[in-house]
Structure 1
Amino acid sequence: MSCAPVHVNLGFAAGVLFALLVFFIFQQEAAISGLDVATRVAVAQWITLEQLIRAPGATQLIKAPGEVVASDMQRTADIQLIQGSDNSKVVCNREGLSRDWSETCEVDGDVRTNGTALSVTLVPASRSERREWMISPYARGGQKLRSVTLTQLQDRSIAPPCTLTHTMPAVLFGLGGYVGNYWHDYTDILVPLFVASRRYHGEVTFLVSNIQHLPPWLVKYKALLQGLSKYEIVDMDRDAYVRCFPRVTVGLHLDKELTIVPELVPGGRLTMADFTQFVRETYALPRGAPTREADKKPRLLLIHRGDFRRFLNEHEILQAAEAAGFEAPVLSELRVNGSDVEQARLVNTFDVVLGVHGAGLTNAVHLPPGGVLIQVVPYGNMEYLARAEFSQGATDMGLKYLDYSISADESSLMEKLGPEHPAIKDPESIHRSGWENMFELYLKQNVRINTTRFAPTLLQAFDHLRQQQGA
């Protein structure tokens, strides 16, 4: 009898210990989960009006050429597949949401679109579960565009009847957001649209919403759009028809800034080099390689900015470029409604594009492979932001990427604020204070390059091009 209480006490103690262990494990998991959410929120707060800023301690997203990192790959949790009994399906990719990019969905089966309602409906052959999604037609999140209502119906009998039937697939996307900025034109729409539609070899219809946001956009890029689709663009906001398609891609998916992750391309691998080749063919750009003739100087294009992030000593920079062996004229930035074809053909006559961080560097898309992009990085620990937008993209285009970071003495901020200002002494404190301060200080400065300090970068670009001659 005296042993019984001992067994009871031991059992009770074991139970308490087990409960405490379970509680501790769940607390740790909750802490880890909370940290992940907090990290995502912190990262989301660094999404700027144009690009992603690294929060203190965040992981570097730039990868070496050819390297595939975990963040590049689709995770099972990010892919949502809804399969019907008749092989109709909705596959939604949520991989970009953690970076404040939009969710995209591919819908296969009996798919019907209603332009004025901005809706896409999957009609099942037999009774099915009703599902609904709200999808932004623009690649970046947080934009004030009307969302697309994507619905999987329960019953075929309630489906809207077709007024037009198409045998080819469709891609639905919207204008808006940052459209009109040259970098965003390519990064947010043209490159993702190429990825979404190239597999169809022109047999695809583009359904475009919010065209009234910037009507000249479709004119400016008409040649590229016609190079991807043989059919007239459908203005969804004015389309009164119920159109029936075998497949509709809703929204454009961003994999990385101004580049393509081949492993994530639907229907087969594509690269950024494939995109620039498509642009050269569509625009009939004459040069597919840098200057080959030994008696000809390679040509350097200096991007001139008219507002901020200007070169304050353009003439001295051009002289330094000529001393390094280049022919170096100047070009103003592309006008918002200018001809993209004419601009591309002009840029293609050069071997090097040089400019301060900004949309004008997107002109590197039109350089011949083997050319050089030199990005001048403004003062203020802005290397991560600058490289995130252009380094990997330029490398994937087949270009040599170089950058030159401005010192405090080369920045207009030194004269304006003085050496004791936090923007000069402690750039990280400005980063922590928020995007608005960063933009006002670091992205509205001008630069006066020390051409002696800059000379090695110019020589590195020149040597690269000379090596191309022997290739």
Structure 2
Amino acid sequence: MFNKLQNSGKDRLKVEMGKECKSLVFCLLTFTLLYAAFSPSYINPFDTWKQRLSNWNGGNQNSIVDRGIEEKDGQKFLLRRLVRGEDRIRLDSTGFSCNSDFHSEVCIADKPVIVDNNEQTIYVPSTETQAKHMVQPYALKDDPTAMKYVTPVKILHGNTHLPSCDFNHNVPAVVFSSGGFTGNIFHELNELIIPLFITCRHFGSNVRFVITDFKPWWVSKYNRILSRLSRFEVLNPAENGTAHCFPGAIVGLKYHDNLALNYSEIPGGYSMFDFKHFLRETYDLKHRDVPNTEKPVLILISRPNSRRFLNEREMKEMMKELGFQIIVATPNRMSNLDKFASLVNSCSVMVGAHGAGLANSVFLPSGAVMVQVVPLGLEWASTNYFGGPATEMEVKYLEYKITAEESSLSSTYGPDDPVIKDPESIFLKGYHVARDVYVHGQNLQINVTRFRETLVEAMKLLGRYEPLK
């Protein structure tokens, strides 16, 4: 009987609406009253979307208003894409999951969390028994030296007392450390910038960075990249000791390999090609491909200390004779990344001894040539840190392996010493022993005649079959 009365009442009101709707405003108001009269009592048509959503902390005035249920569902989907297999099952069932491998640990919460900057603690509330996780959010956990400079973050997951929120946010937090080996561009790109791209790119800048072990100079150096991956100002827990509420969180960064992106393991399927395109857009780099200049530009990475070219002047003269324009890159010149990235992007060839400066090859245009001079004892490191990644960067790669006579170690130890004859035996004594000898303890006297052959090969790779005169 009541349903019949409802239907009868609806029919009569529809007739009246047809007669009385003289204006759009009147029609909309009448429709709203109709909806209110015949809808279940728990639905209030005058509720706004803000009122229908639960709000952390009872309507805190510092709250950043949510955009709606659809956005939360989208964020959950994007967070979920970062995990697979058992980790995804765990995330789906509990809202929290951690994955640990040889290099890093990454924990993900796809439900509301509280980040207490004062305590360096992240609360992930649930009805489960409380569990504690200690995470060092830096992608080199296998290196104890690096991890000395990375402060652990405590994650409390389960039924626990929660601090009050001082601020609410409508995007997930990404918590990572700028400690470790920052100050070395290879490590900055390898353990922070590329992992940030892998972890965050598919969020479309809708994340907020919480950076522990905060280094203002590092944030300033990479401001262009950080501001493209997140549209929000970074949070420094050391300065801002307040509690922040987020709809989800990522603690730590995904890592694949040295200067590498594994296409099949990245949400969205990004590759090194995509990362280089991202860098070109970020730094407004002009050249996607090697510039067509009368004389190809060669940038020589000049090291002031270990692995220094002792006859650099002679090398430059030979390079000019082959027809190269020469740019000498010193550490001072490389310090301003915004300017240096554009400079590298204008070059066709990069030459340098094994070392961090070669990581700037990420800014080379496609088709450029990297020539790595391989010091004695550093064959494995040279190939794995730079040789392998070069191909993925669409950079052509050549190695120049020095002879024992070209290393200063020959005069220091003598030609028959194990340092010269059997480097492997030195590495068996421990990495730090070998590092002091081969990384920090040798300089290079290049055989210019022999090295010339390698640069002629570089010319050929550029399509210059005969050296320019």
Q: What TM-score does the superposition give when structure 1 sets the normalisation length?
A: 0.76
**Alignment correspondent of 2:268:** 268
Q: Specify the alignment match of 1:451 in structure 2.
A: 448
**2:326 counterpart residue number:** 328
Residue 187 of structure 2 aligns with an amino acid whose one-letter code is H
Indicate yes or no: 2:136 matched with 1:136: yes
Match of 2:159 in 1: 154
- 1:5-404 correspondence to structure 2 within 5 Å: 79=87, 82-83=90-91, 88-95=94-101, 97=102, 101-124=103-126, 127-141=127-141, 142=144, 143-144=147-148, 145-154=150-159, 158-211=161-214, 214-265=215-266, 267-293=267-293, 296-334=294-332, 338-380=335-377, 382-404=378-400
1:200-256 CA-to-partner distances (Å, cap 9, x unmatched) read: 111110001111xx3211111111111111111001223233222222110122210
Shift in alpha-carbon separation, 1:83–1:93, aligned structure 2, 3 A: closer
Pair 1:228–1:318, CA change in 2 (3 A): same
**Alpha-carbon distance in 2 for matches of 1:166, 1:149:** 20
Question: Does structure 2 retain, via aligned residues, the 8 Å contact 1:430–1:437?
Answer: yes
| Cα distance in 1 for residues equivalent to 2:302 and 2:327 | 11
1: distance between equivalents of 2:327 and 2:90?
56
CA shift for structure 1 position 324? 3.3
For 2:418 and 2:198, how far apart are their aligned partners in 1? 43
Q: Partner amino acid for 2:288?
A: G
- Report the secondary structure of 1:385's partner residue: helix
Instruction: Give the AA of the match of 2:223.
Output: K
Measure how far apart 1:420 and its partner are.
Answer: 1.6
Indicate conservation of the 8 Å contact 2:376/2:402, yes or no. yes
Do the aligned residues in 1 keep the contact of 2:198 with 2:255 (CA within 8 Å)? no
Cα distance in structure 2, aligned partners of 1:398 and 1:184: 21
Does the Cα contact within 8 Å between 1:334 and 1:343 map onto a contact in 2?
Answer: no
Residue 75 of structure 1 deviates from its aligned partner by 9.2
The structure number with the bigger radius of gyration is: 2
TM-score normalized with structure 2 length: 0.76
Q: Tell me, in whole angstroms, the C-alpha distance in 2 between the residues paired with 1:81 and 1:298.
A: 54
Aligned residues: 377
The answer to whether the Cα contact below 8 Å between 2:168 and 2:244 also exists between their aligned partners in 1 is yes
The DSSP-based 3-state class of the residue aligned with 1:218 is helix
Question: For each residue in 1:135-183, what CA deviation from the matched residue of structure 2 results, as whole angstroms up to 9, or x when unmatched?
Answer: 102211231222111121136xx33333322111121101111111111
CA distance in structure 2 between the aligned counterparts of 1:352 and 1:308, rounded to whole angstroms: 22
**Structure 2 segments unaligned to the other structure (5+ residues):** 1-82
Aligned-pair CA distance for 1:198: 0.8
Distance in 2 (CA, whole Å) between partners of 1:424 and 1:430 is: 10
Q: Please state whether the residue corresponding to 1:237 is helix, strand or coil.
A: coil
Alignment match, 1:462: 459
* Identical pairs, percent: 36
Gaps of 5+ in 1: 1-73
Partner of 2:37: none
CA 1:84/1:182 → structure 2, altered by over 3 Å: closer, same or farther? closer
> Residue by residue, what CA displacement relative to the aligned partner does 1:361-420 show, whole Å, maximum 9, x if unpaired?
11111111111111111012x211111111222211111121111110111111222112
RMSD over aligned Cα atoms: 2.1
Contact (CA 8 Å) 2:408, 2:442: kept in 1 or not? yes
